[in-house]
Amino acid sequence: MKIIRSLLVLAHVFVLTLLAGATLNSVVSPQTFPWLNILSLTFPALMIVNAILIIIWIVLRKKRAILFIALTLLMINPIRRWVNFSPESLEKANLKVLTMNIKGGKYGREEVYNYLKDSGADVIFAQEYASEFNVPGYPHRTNTYYITALNSRTELIHHEKIPTTQNGEAFFADIKINGKMIRFINVYLNPFMFEKSKVKPADDLNKNKQKLRYIAATLIPTFKAHQSEVEIIKNTIKKSPYPVILAGDFNSVPNSYEYYQLSDGLQDAFVEVGRGTSTSFHDYKVPIRIDYIFCSPEIIPVSYRVDRRKKLSDHYPVIAEFKIE
């Protein structure tokens, strides 16, 4: 029994080490060591294993449970990017923003348009919109970019593409909200383009090894491509003369290099006012958050939710409300 407990302690330390390793993405780039970014993908699974081990120590009435709980609490912010229970804000919102990857309308473009029209959003971000993105009731639009688009109910003063160098796309749009100019930045980072048949686990061990090699061979170049995209977008945010709302499909999870870089100096609306889980991509049946809404400190987040009532795409719509002073 003592040997089993010792092995469990070693396993628990190993799990916590991996969890801590994922937070190093804040300082280590994919070009330097991309495996840390892969580690960020496993964060929810590792945290579940960590919670199970803590429960085991509590059941066994071992004092080391206190130590492991304390070490877990040190990672409360990384945890809150996946699961959060913020108190309800007392502020009154005057701006509603929605972002959604609509998958080219493959789930039914008319249904998507009807949903977006009835959402009550003032500004709608779209990714993978295909040939056009014209939601009824939104007279101010951008349809000049290939992957990303924006529809607004209020005056759009200027929009411009951000010159990223990879297969993703980003642009900014300056929109007047309640008399104040806000720069909205729509982001779609380079996609992974997995073949589902090569990702789904098999019964054969050798086949699974091949699948893991395929996954790594797909992830690593994409993470490296993200690095250059992120640097350009981050520079655009820093140079903005107006407060920023950054949203879109980042094709990267919380605690990744992309997350740390793009959220630098901004507020994650989910962390500030979100409740429940942040999972926004449902195609792989595992918890994945790759859709985000961030804002400048002078913009006050009031509410945040992922609308999972209907599947209109392989992404759920993400909706946030803000107070613009």
Based on the domain organization, do 74 and 100 belong to the same domain? no
Q: Using CA atoms, how far apart are residues 186 and 183, in angstroms rounded to an integer?
A: 10
Nearest to 262 by CA among 239, 232, 242: 232
Mean predicted lDDT score pLDDT of the chain:
92
Find the mean pLDDT for residues 226-237: 96
Alpha-carbon distances of 16 from 7, 24, 129, 132, 170, rounded to whole Å: 14, 13, 40, 47, 36
Tell me the DSSP string of 104-148: GGTTTHHHHHHHHHHS--SEEEEES-TT----TT--EEE--SSSE
170 lies in some domain? yes
The structure tokens listed for 88 are 């309800």
* 54 shares its domain with 95: no
CA distances from 49 to 44, 45, 53, 168, 247 (A): 9, 6, 6, 34, 31
Q: How many separate domains does the chain show? A: 2
Is the model more confident about 106 or about 270? 270
CB 189 within 8 A of CB 174: no
Query: Does residue 204 sit within a domain?
Result: yes
Q: Is the pLDDT of residue 129 over 90?
A: yes
> Are 124 and 243 contained in the same domain?
yes
Q: Does one domain contain both 164 and 76?
A: no
287 in the same domain as 240: yes
Residues 45 and 188 both lie in one domain:
no
Say whether both 51 and 158 belong to one domain: no
| Domain assignment present for 85 | no
pTM score: 0.93
pLDDT at 206 over 80: no
| Domain boundary pick from 28, 56, 80 | 80
Q: Are residues 187 and 55 in the same domain?
A: no
Strand ordering across the sheet containing 318-323: 140-142, 148-152, 123-127, 95-101, 318-323, 300-306
Q: What is the CATH number of the domain that holds 169?
A: 3.60.10.10
Same domain, 61 and 126: no
> What does the pLDDT look like over 312-323, one tens digit per residue?
999 999 999 999
Query: What does the pLDDT read at residue 203?
Result: 63
C-beta of residue 105 within 8 angstroms of C-beta of residue 112: yes
Final residue of a structural domain among 51, 80, 109: 80
From the list 114, 145, 141, the residue with the least C-alpha distance to 128 is 145
Q: Are residues 68 and 167 in the same domain?
A: no
In a shared domain, residues 74 and 95: no
pLDDT one-digit tens code per residue, 135-186: 999 999 998 899 999 999 999 999 999 998 778 999 999 999 988 999 999 9
Dihedral sign from CA coordinates of 57, 58, 59, 61: positive
Range of the domain at 9: 2-80
* Domain-embedded: residue 240: yes
In a domain, residue 86? The reply is: no
Query: Are 296 and 236 within one domain?
Result: yes
